[in-house]
Amino acid sequence: MAEETIFSKIIRREIPADILYQDDLVTAFCDIAPKAPTHILIVPNHLIPTVNDVKSSDEKALGRMITVAAKLADEAGIADDGYRLVINCNKHGGQEVYHIHMHLLGGQYIGPLVASR
């Protein structure tokens, strides 16, 4: 697994991104290829490649990801109608960047989650 990702560079502000939130644990920014009117990525500031690599020491950052998602959903005006939080894991789970990240999707009806065959 990589030690450096595009998300690492966004966190350090080495490449441009529309950063909506950043603290000592997590960074949130707009997805460059949105799948919904609101599509935000929330990432831990330290590299965790996949969900399979999560350690108990990561719990604070992962919990912060969820509280930041709720804050950003409220700020975006989508909290009352609802939104979806997604974390993909590895190739079959649809993970493309091997730096764990949560997708916050909303602003329209997302529909049921159905895997294609």
**Alpha helices by DSSP H, 5-97:** 6-11, 59-75
Q: Which of 39, 99, 101, 103 is catalytic?
A: 101
Told to judge if 99 belongs to the known catalytic residues of this protein, a careful annotator would answer no
Q: Whole-angstrom Cα distance, residue 35 to residue 94?
A: 14
* Sign of the Cα pseudo-torsion (89, 90, 94, 99, in order): positive
Catalytic residue IDs: 101
